[in-house]
Amino acid sequence: MERTTVNGIDLAYDVEGEGAPLLFVHGAIWADFLRPLASQPALSGFRRIRYHRRGIGDSGGPAGGFGDQVADAVGLLDHLAVDSAHLVGHSEGAMIAMDLAAAHPDRVRSLVLLEPLPPFNWLAASDHAQILETFGPLMEAMAGRYQAGDVIGAYDALFTPQGLDWRAAAAAAGPDAISQGIDDAPTWFEHEAAALPEWTFGPAQAAAVDCPILSWCARPGMPLPRAVRACLHELFPQCEDADLEHGDHFSVATNPAAVAEPIAAFVTRQSVTTV
């Protein structure tokens, strides 16, 4: 990967292809979970920009909050002389992409949101209670394993009960993904995990976002994806949907071709209309 200094952080990034720019913002823990997606032939007509967020993968630290993450992404676009880009964010990366679009709407051509967490300040009380009931025990079990020094066990405690094969996704992301997830565990467990429930996004921020938006999710009938989808449609009237009925949160790595197809169709359409 290439490197540049952005906001005092040594940021690792990679650029492939030519065409309208796509900036991929990965989620928590694993820096390369979006590498299989960015490499799909369906997206080959775009300039695909991937980077490792601060404190993760080949980028330097320290870890930072959402404001720092937005500044890093904008700084990378500046470094690459990209005036505006289509953003493809996964999980926590989708939350960062939403904040970037709200703070810098002129830098964003469209948003592709791959299963962000919902802004808890905007959830219906019943949805909030159900999500806490489902995920609270998993988060507690994960934290307990991590505090005991068992990083692999912590990942198992969070993902395995959800039916998510994080090992298969890590293997698809690259040969070093599992070891990278162990090395960078402090960034997640000691910084980012605590910040996620405190993230807020509401009508004031959404009003600044006038770009086209695609909400992608797997198993849309499940409680968390259903709540996320409802939030996004309330916040963004222009939001379109794409679903992968038999996929899961890690399909971005394990079934990237199926995830890439609706993204390519959506971004191609937006690239044509914004020329």
Rounded to whole angstroms, the Cα distance separating 170 from 253 reads 8
Burial 105-121 (b: 16+ CB within 10 A, else e): eebbbbbbbbbbbbbbe
Q: Residue 122: which residues within 8 A CB-CB, separation 6 or more? A: 200, 201, 202, 231, 234, 235
Q: What is the pLDDT of residue 275?
A: 46
Residues 55-76, mean pLDDT to the nearest whole number: 96
| Average pLDDT, rounded, for the chain | 93
What element of type H or E holds 186? helix 185-187
* pLDDT > 90? residue 272: no
State the burial class of residue 52 (Cβ atoms within 10 Å of its Cβ: 0-12, 13-18, 19+).
Answer: buried
Confidence of residue 126 (pLDDT cuts 50, 70, 90): low
For residue 247, what pLDDT band results from cuts at 50, 70 and 90?
A: very high
pLDDT of residue 265: 97
* Predicted TM-score (pTM) of this structure: 0.95
Helix (H) or strand (E) holding 3: strand 2-6
The pLDDT confidence band at residue 104, using thresholds 50, 70 and 90, is very high
User: pLDDT tier at 223 (50, 70, 90 boundaries)?
Assistant: confident
Structural domains present in the chain? 2-274 (3.40.50.1820)
Give the strand pairing for 21-25 and 2-6. Answer: unpaired
Which position has the token pair 């980012």?
192
Residue 98: pLDDT above 60?
yes
What are the strands of the beta sheet with 47-51, ordered from one edge? 2-6, 9-16, 47-51, 21-25, 85-90, 108-114, 213-218, 239-244
Q: Which residues have C-beta within 8 Å of that of residue 153, sequence separation ≥ 6?
A: 145
- Express each pLDDT in 148-195 by its tens digit: 999 999 999 999 999 999 999 999 999 999 999 999 999 999 999 888
Given CA atoms 275, 27, 66, 98 in this order, what sign does their dihedral have? positive
Residue 128 has pLDDT above 60, yes or no: yes
Number of residues in the chain: 275
Q: Which of 9-13, 47-51, 194-198 has the lowest mean pLDDT?
A: 194-198
Which among 82, 94, 71, 104 is positioned nearest to 24, based on CA atoms? 94
